[in-house]
Chains A and B, each alone.
Chain A
Amino acid sequence: MSTMSASAVAHRGLYRAVQLRRNKGIGGLTIVVLLFLAAYAVLFPGLLTFEGFAKFSQTWLPLALTAMAQAMLMLAGGISLSVGATVSLGAVVAATTMGTPLGVAGGLGAVVLVGLVVGAITGAITVRLRLPAIIVTLAGSFIIGGVALLILPRPGGSVPTTVSDLLAGTSPVAFGLLLATIALWKLYAATPLGLGLYAAGENPVGAYRSGVAVDTVLIAAYAISGALTALAGFFVAAQTGSGDPVIGSAFTLNSIAAAVLGGVGFGGGQGTMRGAFLGSLLLTVMINVMFFLGLPPVAQYIAQGLIIVGAVALPEIAKRRAHRAGRVQS
């Protein structure tokens, strides 16, 4: 009994150390995000009201969900270029099922199921047939987008107003959903499937030889990522009140950008989910600021391109500066 508690203490120490190291990695990013949030609040004091906060969290939620979906795959050494199409598919499924006898619960179930199935199939093709994830998801975006067009050839369908009012109304339900998603992620990260994610991403051969069920871990990651993405689509449909077969296209780039801003690398196993989460917050603030400043869409494109490159490049330059300074001293 005493040995067990001793090992539990050791485990807790290890856990703390890992968490601390992960927090350290995103320290700079946290400061940048806080600065941006402060600037945003100064420019638009509306953010600090109850309603303003609710609206802000509503623009954040879909990006946060897709960024988490993307980060999961990138941590596992994959990537998805079909995020946008899957968001559209989720929106279309929600808009065509919720008004029918299936009801809201049935519709929500259908969205999650569609997301899981789409993700699982993508994962199975990538992992079992050993095709590069970029290409599979690029081809997959055509298939998924095509299916969305088949279900709903032009914008239409409807999401019940009760759902729209609940999710996209004046109460910060979206923020609550965000917290719930984070809690679920923490739970998932503690399961064997979640623990195997980093291992499978960083060194699949080593993970396989150490007994991680790499294939299962990866396919599960793709399936869950698909479900998260489809849920983002459901939320977008609730925001707009109807379905649109091409509404999600911007999410592909934005989800990758948010994950990369958050320090998630392309090689697999590099970065953290909390980083990706902060990255999505940063990107949301940037997009909102540009929108509220009344910049034309043109300038938004230009600014977004510059910001993304700058945000990815600056830490690298700083790192090299520090490295060089260290070498000079020693």
Chain B
Amino acid sequence: MTAPSSTLKTSRLSGLLGNRALLTLGIVIAVWIVASLTSRGFGTWGHLRYLIELAAVIGVVAAGQTLVMIGGGIDLSVGAVITVTAVGVPLLSIPGDATGLGAIAAILGITTAIGIVNGAGIAYLRVHPMIMTLAMATFLQGALILLAGGSAVSVDNAVIDMLGNARPCGIPASVLFWIAVALVTVLMLRRTRFGARVYALGANPLASALSGVNVPMTTLALYGFSGLMAGLAGLLALGMNGQGYVGIGDPYVLMSIAAVVLGGTSILGGLGGYAGTVPGAVLLVTISGLITVVNASAGWRSVLFGVLILGLLLLSGREAARR
């Protein structure tokens, strides 16, 4: 392959990357327009707001997942971490803690620590991310049943209630929170040294280590961030549901990965960004909302969901040809 053609390829690739976020956004808008025209009640302000609220939870988990996947890894423990949060906050609430902030800080510390343990296993023990995080999920699943006993626990925490239900100026607090998370994530990826290191790590771990990137610390930070984000998403999910139960976080593993990939981030690492994940999350929620509207059996809903995700992936998730 000659040099000019490869530079041409990279410039075209980066152009595509910039467009992938827009492409996903375009699909979302097209789906919304078609759905509002064909399905009564879809296009109302209340319904669209509800969809964005649901997307906020996915979007926040997917912020961590985006970073991890750009760094060349994957975090399959986010579902279990969300459940830990939703079940753990009610358990950690102690009478002396009137604001409830103590419990929140404690649980976020725990989820960040879980993420750091994931990162330590991956960085120091060289366990593959998929195995490490799946094993962590299995471990947490057992620990959770031990702690929560399998029954739903309701929460009485003013801050979490506000996150889940308050609507300053008609905009849900969870959506405002998501916007804040999105800004921080995008700035971190695009404007900080840490962000640059994450891209380098995902593109080529050996080269980045040789160029002075502290690979173990970056990995710890990546998975710690993912744990923190999953914890925050757990708080949002808990606020919306009002109670936590074992299994509340299960759907978010697939949802977060799908949102990241639909947003154009490569599962191989080194490429992508959070700007695509945001419309990816909205798109996912819209699809599941539409499937619920179509009055179908559980089997058909599952088939439709899988087929739609595959179809959307064809638009945005393809890899380069081998030749």
B294 to chain A, nearest CB (A): 13
Let me know if A305 is at the binding interface, CB within 8 A: yes
Interface flag for A101 (CB, 8 Å)? no
Q: Of residues 240 to 266 in B, which have CB atoms within 8 Å of A's CB atoms?
A: 254, 257-258, 261
**A-B contacts, CB under 8 A, total:** 153
- Partner of A140 from the list B141, B304, B306 (CB cut-off 8 Å) is B306
B191 at interface, CB cutoff 8 A: no
Q: Which of B142, B306, B313 contacts A302 (CB 8 A)?
A: B142
Question: With a CB–CB cut-off of 8 A, which chain A residues contact B309?
Answer: 135, 139, 142
Instruction: Give the docked Cα–Cα distance between A153 and B296 (Å).
Output: 13
Interface residues of A, count at CB 8 A: 50
In the complex, how many angstroms separate the beta carbon of B100 from the nearest chain A beta carbon?
Answer: 28
Closest beta carbon of chain B to A287's beta carbon, Å: 12
Cross-interface CB contact of B135 among A79, A144, A308, cutoff 8 Å: A308
A313-B121 contact given A131-B314, A135-B258, A135-B313, CB 8 Å threshold: yes
Residue interface mask B296-317, A partner, CB < 8 A = 1? 0111111111110110011001
User: Which of B33-41, B123-131, B217-225, B228-236 makes up part of the contact surface?
Assistant: B123-131
A139 / chain B contacts, CB cutoff of 8 Å: 258, 306-307, 309-310, 313
> Given known contacts A135-B261, A204-B322, A256-B134, is B302 in contact with A143 (CB within 8 Å)?
yes
Chain A interface, DSSP helix/strand/loop, else mixed: helix
- CB < 8 Å neighbour of A316 from B125, B303, B314, B323: B125
Alpha-carbon distance A208/B322, docked complex (angstroms): 9
Sorting the interface of chain B by its residue count into under 10, 10 to 19, 20 to 34 or 35 or more gives 35 or more
Interchain nearest-CB distance for B225 vs A (Å): 21
**Contacts A134-B267, A204-B322 given; does A317 touch B306 at CB 8 Å:** no
Q: Determine the distance from Cα of A256 to Cα of B132 in the docked complex, in whole angstroms.
A: 12
**Are the CB atoms of A309 and B127 closer together than 8 Å?**
yes
Closest chain-B Cβ to A184's Cβ sits at a distance in Å of 28
Q: B318 on the interface (CB 8 Å rule)?
A: yes
CA distance A260 to B130 in the complex (A): 11
**Partner pick for A136 among B137, B145, B310, CB 8 A cutoff:** B310
Residues of chain A with a CB closer than 8 A to B132's CB: 309
The prevalent SS among residues of B at the interface is helix
Given A129-B314, A129-B318, A138 contacting B127 (CB threshold 8 A): no
A132 CA to B258 CA in the complex, in Å? 12
Check A131/B127 contact, CB under 8 A, given A138-B254, A142-B305, A305-B142. no
Task: Indicate if A6 sits at the interface (CB-CB under 8 A).
Answer: no
User: Which residues of A are in contact with B by a Cβ distance under 8 Å?
Assistant: 79, 125, 129-132, 134-136, 138-150, 153, 204-205, 208, 214, 245, 253, 256-257, 260, 265-266, 297-306, 308-309, 312-313, 316-317
Other 19 A-B pairs with CB < 8 A, given A142-B254, A312-B131: A129-B318, A130-B318, A131-B317, A135-B313, A135-B317, A138-B258, A140-B306, A140-B310, A146-B300, A146-B302, A150-B297, A150-B299, A153-B297, A256-B130, A256-B131, A257-B134, A298-B145, A308-B135, A313-B125
Q: Provide 29 A-B residue pairs closer than 8 Å at the C-beta atoms, listed in order of the A residue.
A: A79-B130, A125-B310, A129-B314, A130-B318, A130-B320, A132-B317, A132-B319, A134-B257, A135-B261, A136-B310, A139-B309, A139-B310, A140-B306, A141-B306, A143-B303, A146-B299, A146-B304, A149-B299, A153-B298, A245-B299, A257-B131, A266-B128, A266-B130, A298-B143, A301-B138, A302-B143, A306-B139, A308-B138, A309-B121
Point out residues on B near A: beta carbons under 8 Å. Answer: 74, 121, 125-128, 130-132, 134-143, 145-146, 254, 257-258, 261, 267-268, 297-307, 309-310, 313-314, 317-323
